[in-house]
Structure 1
Amino acid sequence: MKASPLSEDEAVLLEQGRLDFDTGRYWHAHEAWEDLWNSLKRRDAVQTEVLLIQGLIQTAALLYNHQRKKTRGVTNQWAKLVPKLSSWDHAWGFNIKQHMANISVFVDDVDVWEQTYESIRLPVVEEVNE
């Protein structure tokens, strides 16, 4: 599957969310990506792309819940994001498959709460041929 190009403003929101995500500011990443999600919905973007950004929002929410040791929040977000992201390999320069693998360890860590966040980044791919 290939993601359509984003507008300049949408690309700024995607990047803002990535920077927030990569620095552990999961709530802020969620907010930036929610603005992008709303923009995609307003312009009637392809539904799979609307769901893609919603899935990214949910990965940020999952980590936010993990930080707060909220078992239900982590497991609920995982259940919601998997169907939205699992059909994507790469999109908008990000490795979505690797991102899901990176996030899954936090689901496995529920009720153990030993995972740390320092190495969690949204994986970037070099030149994408989606």
Structure 2
Amino acid sequence: MHSITVRTALCRALTTVILLPTTALANEHAPLPSAVGLASVAQTVAWLIAVIGLAYVCAWAARRFGMRPPLRRPGLIKVLGSTALTPKEKVMIVEIGNTWLVLGVAAGSIHTLHTMPASNDAAATVN
């Protein structure tokens, strides 16, 4: 971090106050360009329409070519619960058929920690 002394700040402020009118006088005779004209407004509106159109085309392509998440279907595997141990590791209880698996899930691997028969009262047993 740079610290500015009071003397340096006053010198800079005084220099700005002195030089500001001279730069304004130097540009007094030059015509200022028009900031807003019909052509610039039309160009801005055209670009806006193009960007919105591109967003609609991308959304249509995503729907048309199946770039959406798969639907959840009841299947063979049910996740009964999971607990994160670290940001990259967690323990999960998975039901496959009539068997519960306690799995240790890490960044690049899955290990079976325990296997047990499924219970009828799943909610009470898991929680």
Q: TM-score when scaled to structure 2?
A: 0.20
Q: In terms of Rg, which structure is larger?
A: 2
Q: Which structure is richer in relative contact order (CA contacts within 8 A, separation 6 or more)?
A: 1
**Bigger helix share:** 1
